[in-house]
């Protein structure tokens, strides 16, 4: 018996924000963003729309796709680094909005590796016989990180005012991060099935010595009070990132994790039909593809349209690959991710 993804769904919010639009706010360009990251546009949620809202829409589609009703779900795993509230987590909010039973919900926070860690939990739940129908959601609304007081409302049609030179200069300070992120959600339903298809070897890793390379220092319970107006003004409520270090870790550790699951499953890397890589940067995705010696068509991407949606990239990409007919029965597929923590790993999935 294996844990099989029986339904998928996504939610991609309505506001399309192009590189061109961002270059009106700060010193950046469509060319820089495309060449360095591969991103052409990303989606921004409506004001007031949180990661639970996007997760609920994606989950509804995934449950219907699996041919189930919300009351059939036995457990929820919700992966996000941008929850609606510090407490409670998104799980109970999604449970109520979907009308699920009083089933357990787990909120997990492994950032870009959230979906991968969620697959591990879902598989363990199902293999142990504890829960049969697990809903796994990856959803993010990153836009509140952005410095909205510096003219970001113009990006979603809420204002048409001109951006001042001082605002441009301030926006430029965080340009290495703000251009990368978008909002979105993906959800999957996972159920036990007899036969060879389903989740296989999963290998997860954490290295806390890398915690500082991608972190958010503001809004911290080590501070009193935990957030101040000054922290917001000085940009401390936006993640800080050592881009090059994350980049290097990503192109080294993701191929390593893919090889690890192949080795543990008796597969050669060439036996893989599809490798779905966390969508953080097209150069990272291509770096992983080249390190594994795979042809580009085996490593699909959609980062050009959505940017980095953290825990949502893998379920959105898997959903789109299914919709495009790229996922066919009998394939060896691997999910791999790396992100803040550092957390990384890979999961083999036989379609
Ligand atoms: O999901 C996990 C989360 N994050 C990641 O995986 C991110 C991993 N890292 C990256 O994707 C890349 O390191 C970045 C896209 C963030 C940056 O690319 P890079 O090639 O490492 O650029 P860089 O940081 O070396 O910056 C090169 C130049 C700098 O200017 P100087 O110092 O050479 O004059 C930056 O100030 O590019 C400048 N720059 C920008 N210019 C225009 C940084 N951001 C921008 C921007 N527009 N948005």
The 3 state secondary structure assigned to 154-195 is HHHCCCCCCCCHHHHHHHHCCHHHHCCECCEEEEEEEEEECC
Ligand 1, closest atom to CA 112?
A: 1
| 112 tagged catalytic | yes
CA distances in angstroms from 246 to 45, 253, 279, 284, listed in the order given: 26, 10, 13, 10
| Domain range list for the chain | 2-193, 198-350
Query: Which residue's CA is the closest to the ligand 1 atom numbered 42?
Result: 28
pLDDT of residue 233: 84
| Catalytic-residue membership of 278 | yes
28 within ligand 1 shell (Cβ under 6 A): yes
Catalytic residue among 15, 19, 112, 301: 112
Strands 134-140 and 2-11: unpaired
Give the burial string for 294-307 (b: 16+ CB within 10 Å, else e). Answer: beeebbbbebebbb
* Low-confidence stretches of the chain (pLDDT beneath 70): none
pLDDT score, position 114: 98
Superfamily of domain 198-350, CATH level 4: Thiolase/Chalcone synthase (3.40.47.10)
Give the list of residues 6+ apart from residue 159 with CB closer than 8 angstroms, or none: 151, 153
* Confidence at residue 346, expressed as pLDDT on a 0 to 100 scale: 99
pTM to 2 decimals? 0.98
Among 15, 278, 301, 343, the active-site one is: 278
According to the model, what pLDDT value does residue 232 have?
87
State the CATH class of domain 2-193. Answer: alpha beta
Verify whether ligand 1 is closer than 6 Å to residue 247 (CB atom).
yes
Q: Ligand 1 center to residue 243 CA distance, Å?
A: 6
The answer to whether 308 is a known catalytic residue is yes
Ligand 1 lined by 173 (C-beta under 6 Å): no
pLDDT at 311: 98
Q: What is the mean pLDDT of the chain?
A: 97
């Amino acid at each position: 018996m294996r844990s099989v993804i029986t339904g998928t769904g996504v939610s991609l919010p309505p506001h399309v924000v192009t590189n061109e639009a961002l270059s009106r706010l700060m010193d950046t360009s469509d060319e820089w963003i495309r060449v360095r990251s591969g991103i052409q546009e990303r989606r921004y949620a409506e004001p007031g729309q949180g990661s639970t809202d996007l997760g609920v829409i994606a989950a509804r589609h995934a449950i219907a796709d699996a041919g189930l009703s919300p009351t059939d779900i036995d457990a929820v795993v919700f992966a996000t680094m941008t929850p609606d509230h510090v407490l409670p987590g998104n799980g109970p909010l999604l449970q109520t909005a979907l009308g699920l039973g009083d089933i357990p919900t787990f909120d997990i926070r492994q950032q870009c590796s959230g979906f991968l860690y969620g697959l591990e939990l879902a598989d363990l739940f199902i293999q142990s016989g504890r829960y049969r129908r697990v809903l796994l959601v990856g959803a993010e609304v990153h836009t509140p990180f952005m410095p909205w007081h510096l003219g970001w409302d113009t990006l979603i049609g809420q204002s048409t005012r001109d951006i001042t030179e001082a605002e441009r200069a301030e926006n430029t300070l965080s340009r290495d991060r703000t251009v990368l992120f978008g909002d979105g959600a993906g959800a999957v339903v996972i159920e036990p099935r007899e036969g060879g298809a389903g989740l296989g070897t999963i290998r997860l890793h954490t290295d806390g010595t890398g915690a500082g390379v991608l972190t958010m220092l503001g809004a911290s319970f080590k501070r009193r009070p935990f957030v101040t107006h000054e922290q917001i003004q000085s940009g401390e409520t936006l993640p800080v990132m050592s881009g090059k270090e994350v980049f290097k870790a990503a192109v080294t550790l993701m191929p390593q994790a893919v090889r690890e699951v192949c080795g543990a499953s008796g597969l050669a890397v060439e036996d893989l039909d599809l490798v779905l890589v966390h969508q953080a940067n097209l150069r990272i995705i291509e770096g992983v593809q080249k390190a594994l010696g795979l042809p580009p068509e085996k490593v699909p991407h959609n980062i050009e349209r959505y940017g980095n949606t953290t825990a949502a990239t893998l379920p959105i990409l898997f959903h789109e690959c299914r919709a495009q007919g790229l996922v066919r029965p009998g394939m060896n597929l691997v999910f791999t991710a790396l992100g803040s923590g550092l957390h990384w790993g890979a999961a083999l999935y036989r379609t």
